[in-house]
Chains A and B, each alone.
Chain A
Amino acid sequence: TQLLEQSPQFLSIQEGENLTVYCNSSSVFSSLQWYRQEPGEGPVLLVTVVTGGEVKKLKRLTFQFGDARKDSSLHITAAQPGDTGLYLCAGAPDDNYGQNFVFGPGTRLSVLP
């Protein structure tokens, strides 16, 4: 069974601060996705990374896929209250046909004004 771990579990910061959350596994994934989920809603896809070592930027968010495709990080610069939510990483197993995503438990981020 492939598992994803995320750290930290909870994070509370002030508006304007920077932060990094991590997603780790002992397994290799063909791709990894990051989602943000707000209360009462389904997760919203932020980014997909496919190549080991890949870095993608989405405004103030920077995503990195580890060289070995076993881990990923999400860095937020100058966090805003609108960034508050549950951040989930999800990996697609390397030998999978179709999709069978494994989700991490999430990092719950609270950005205080």
Chain B
Amino acid sequence: KAGVTQTPRYLIKTRGQQVTLSCSPISGHRSVSWYQQTPGQGLQFLFEYFSETQRNKGNFPGRFSGRQFSNSRSEMNVSTLELGDSALYLCASSLVRDLSYEQYFGPGTRLTVT
């Protein structure tokens, strides 16, 4: 079974631009979550989508948005990029097992904002 894939793997953008990142979950997984990972703040939850609906949202500004398609693929968008948005963006697809969610992470997209 193929794992979670994320594209692109690396991205360099200029401050003020916008960016769209893509995530394809494991087949059959309907929940997709996005995280931002930085050396200073660690892994922080951005949002979770389930059946095309945003079910949970972290404490990030409105510049960060996402969506999920009917095939469970998900995209996240960051508008008006800031230098502080440089980070590893991770996507995780999940299934429920034993009353908890098992998360399977992709390799991430490394975003550098200059």
Interface string of A83-111 (1 = CB under 8 A from B): 00000101010001111111111100000
Is B4 in the interface zone, CB < 8 Å from A?
yes
* B8 interfacial by beta-carbon distance below 8 Å: no
- Of the listed stretches A17-25, A35-43, A69-77, name the one at the interface; the rest are far from the partner chain: A35-43
Of the candidate stretches B13-21, B65-73, B92-100, the one touching chain A is B92-100
Please pick, from B55, B94, B103, B105, the residue contacting A97 in the complex, using a CB distance under 8 A. B55
Task: Tell me the nearest residue of chain A to B100, going by C-beta.
Answer: A31
Query: Is B45 at the interface (CB under 8 A from chain A)?
Result: yes
Complex formed: what's the CA distance from A43 to B92 in Å? 9
- List the count of A-B residue pairs having beta carbons below 8 Å apart: 70
- Tell me whether A45 is interfacial, beta carbon within 8 Å: yes
Q: Which residues of B contact A40 (CB under 8 A)?
A: 107
B residues contacting the other copy or chain, number (CB 8 A)? 28
A42 contact from B45, B50, B56, B106, Cβ within 8 A: B106
Judge whether A48 is part of the interface by a CB distance below 8 angstroms. Answer: yes
CB contacts (< 8 Å) of B106 on chain A: these are 42
- Chain B residues with Cβ below 8 Å from A42 are 4, 90, 92, 105-108
Flag B75-113 by CB within 8 Å of A: 1 or 0 each: 000000000000000101010011111111111100000
Contacts A44-B105, A105-B42 given; 13 further ones with Cβ under 8 A?
Answer: A30-B99, A31-B100, A41-B107, A42-B90, A42-B106, A45-B104, A50-B100, A90-B103, A92-B101, A98-B31, A99-B56, A103-B35, A106-B42
Binding site for A on B (CB under 8 A): 4, 31, 33, 35, 42-45, 48, 50, 55-56, 58, 90, 92, 94, 97-108
